[in-house]
């Protein structure tokens, strides 16, 4: 498992925490997650979409 994968999962965890505390909206969560996927070079088909509603 590469560092990009671990860093991406950490960013996803932080985003979920922010969303659960209502510090960001669902739309902001999706937008930030999409940018993180680009930054960490995450392929769309490489990981599950882990958005927790």
Q: What's the confidence (pLDDT) of residue 47?
A: 53
- CA distances 25 to 6, 7, 13, 45, Å, are 24, 22, 15, 24
Q: What's the whole-number mean pLDDT along residues 27-32?
A: 98
Per-residue pLDDT band at 29 (split at 50, 70, 90): very high
Q: What's the confidence (pLDDT) of residue 3?
A: 81
Higher pLDDT, 41 or 42: 41
- CA distances 41 to 2, 5, 23, 30, 52, Å, are 11, 9, 26, 16, 22
Q: What's the confidence (pLDDT) of residue 53?
A: 41
- CA distances 40 to 21, 22, 23, 37, Å, are 25, 25, 23, 5
């Amino acid at each position: 498992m590469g560092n990009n994968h671990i860093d991406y999962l950490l960013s996803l965890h932080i985003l979920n925490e922010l969303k659960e505390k209502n510090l960001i909206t669902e739309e902001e969560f999706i937008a930030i997650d999409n940018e993180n996927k680009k930054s960490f070079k995450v392929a769309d088909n490489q990981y599950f979409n882990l958005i927790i509603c």
